Structure 1
Amino acid sequence: MKVAVGSDHGGLDLKETVISVLRSLGHEVDDLGTYDRNSCDYPDYAQKVAEGVAAGRYDRGVLICGTGLGMSIAANKVPGIRAAVCNEIYMARMARAHNDANVLCLGARVVGPGVAEEIVRTFFTVEHEGGRHARRVEKIRLLERR
C-alpha cells in the first residue's frame, strides 16, 4: 500500500513512530511534512494528504496534530475523504470495518506512541466489511455530491 503521512509541529514526534510502523508493515510511505518544530498550520498538511488520497496517488493517509480533530475537519472537506480520529484500537477497527475510512487522524497530545502503534496496525490491517456498511458509505458519497 502507498501511504501519505503528514503532521503539524505538534505531531512531528509521533509522525516518526507512525512512519516506522507503516514501513514495518511493508507499506511505501511518503512524508508530506512538516519537517521541523516551527509553528505551522495543520490545514496545509491535511490538504496535501487528503488531495493525494482522493486523487488516487495514495491508498490511504495518516494525519497527526495535537488532538487529531483539526486534521480530520480539514481533510474531510476534500470530496472522497473519510478521515477518522481514532484515540484507541476499537475506534480504528470500526473506522475501517464500518466506515471504510481512508485517512487516520491521530492526536499526539492524546495518545502515546505505544497506543498509536497499535491503532496504526489495526487501521492498516482491518478491511471494510461491505454489506449494509457499503450502503451507508455510499450515502456519504451522495452527500458530497450535493
Structure 2
Amino acid sequence: MKIAMAGDHAGFAMKAELKKLLEQQGHEVTDFGPFSEEGCDLPDFIYPASLAVSNGEVERGIFIDGVGYGSALIANKLPGVFAAVCQDPFCAGLARSHSNTNVLCLGGKIIGSAIAQEIVKTWMTTNYLADNPRYTQRVDKVVAIAAKHTTK
C-alpha cells in the first residue's frame, strides 16, 4: 500500500520509527518531512501529504505531531481526506471499521513507541465494515456534508 507520512519536529523520531516498520511490512512510504528535529511549522508538511491523499497519489496517510490534533485539523480541510486522532488500538480499529478513515494522526508527545506501533498495526489491518448499513449510512452522510462544503 502507498502511504504518505508527515509531521513536525515533535513527531520526527516516531515518524522515522513507524516509517521503518511500514517499509518492513512491504508498504511504499512517501515521507513529506520534516527530516530533522529542528523546529518547523506543521502545515508545511501536513498540507502536501494531505494533498497526496486527496489526489489519490497514496491510499492512506499517517501523520505525527505533538498531540495529533494539529495534523487532523489540517488534513480534514481537504476533500476526500478523513483523518482521526487515535491514542490506542481500540480507537484505531473503530476509526477504520466504523468511519473508513484514510489518515491516522498520532501524538508523539502523548503516546510511546510501543503503543504507536500497535495503533498503526491495528489501523493498517482493520477493514471498513462496508457491508454494514449502520456504518455505510453514517459515512455516506459525512461524505455528503463534505461535498457540500469542499471543492476539488
- Scaled by the length of structure 2, the TM-score of the pair is 0.93
Aligned length: 146
Alignment partner, residue 71 of structure 1: 71
Name structure 2 gaps, 5 residues minimum.
none
Q: CA RMSD in A?
A: 0.9
Distance 1:46 1:12 in 2: 13
Q: Tell me the SS of whatever aligns to 2:4.
A: strand
1:136 is matched with which residue: 126, 132, 138? 138
Partner of 1:26: 26
| Residue of structure 2 equivalent to 1:90 | 90
- 8 Å contact from structure 1 (residues 21, 120) kept in 2: no
Residue 59 of structure 1 is matched in structure 2 by 59
Separation in structure 2 between the aligned mates of residue 20 and residue 92 of structure 1, nearest angstrom: 20
Structure 1, unaligned stretches of length 5 or more? none
The AA in structure 2 aligned to 1:65 is D
Matched with 2:147 is 145
Q: Which moved more, 1:98-107 or 1:29-38?
A: 29-38
CA contact (8 A) 1:23 1:29 kept: yes
Runs of 4+ more than 3 Å apart: none
Residue 17 of structure 2 corresponds to: 17
* Structure 2 counterpart SS, 1:137: helix
Q: CA deviation at 1:68?
A: 0.3
Shift of 1:97: 0.3
Hey, what does 1:127 align to over in structure 2?
A: 127
Give the SS at the match of 1:40.
coil
Report the CA distance between 1:64 and its aligned residue. 0.4
